[in-house]
Amino acid sequence: MYKVFVNDKPLFLTNEIAKETDFQLFLLESVDIEQIIIKIFQNKIQKAYLYYPDEKAILKKVKAKIPVCKAGGGLVYNQNGDVLFIFRNGKWDLPKGGIEKGESIAETALREVEEETGVSNLVLSHKLQKTYHIFKRNGKYKLKVTHWFEMHTNFEGNPIGQANEGIEKVAWLNPEQVKDALKNSYENIKLLFEEELNLNK
């Protein structure tokens, strides 16, 4: 099952029909996906499931119905075990951005972290899960697929936010501060930390 966030509300892509009643279930094959997205943005739907019997093909089906853009981002640790966060649009987020021509997705992630935060000497340790969310640009809905990487750095200078990307603040947060920041973050970012905590148990 995949979780796609629309306006921070979950749209589940599933190959199982559950008997719960607190959500709406739609058949991916026949549904107008844009109508569902609009209703979620308007708060008329809080949670929805899109059903398709073949789990391996389900994401392909969605991508055929809505344009996709790829992004790369980093969950960055310094030598003290603090995590690099950015503050933008009133929420705590992790640095990420769109892929450029000729780049691998790992190169995108490294470049975007450095551009958005000024933090250098980044070393990739491993790939994390992908996250999915739908946003609107120039009147069109798009599916953003973000590839996340865990990174480490021995950088000791002051991180500086990329002003033209609307980043108001960059901060290294310790585990307690991370918990607080996640209360005012996006569902995708919370998902990433859930996976990270499970990996590190």
Do 76 and 59 lie in one domain? The reply is no
Q: Which residues contact 18 (CB under 8 A, 6 or more apart)?
A: 49
Number of H helices, E strands in the chain: 5, 11
In sequence order, what E strands does 55-139 have? 68-77, 83-88, 91-93, 96-98, 122-137
Where is the domain boundary, 65, 89, 107? 65
User: Domain containing 143: what range?
Assistant: 68-199
- Give 117's pLDDT tier (boundaries 50, 70, 90): very high
Name the domain count of the chain.
Answer: 2
Proportion of the chain above pLDDT 90, given as a percent: 86
Residue 164's CATH number: 3.90.79.10
The span from the CA of 156 to the CA of 175, in Å, is 19
Read off the pLDDT of residues 23-71 as tens digits, 9 standing for 90 and up: 788 999 999 999 999 999 999 999 899 999 999 999 999 999 999 999 9
CB 106 within 8 A of CB 124: yes
> Is this model's pTM higher than 0.75 or not?
yes
Write out the two tokens for 116: 């958005």
The pLDDT of 154-166, averaged and rounded, is 94
The reported pLDDT for the residue numbered 174 is 95
- Residue 21: which pLDDT band, with cuts at 50, 70 and 90? low
* Last residue of one domain, picked from the residues 49, 65, 81: 65
Is there a single domain that holds both residue 155 and residue 177?
Answer: yes
Is pLDDT above 50 for 201? no
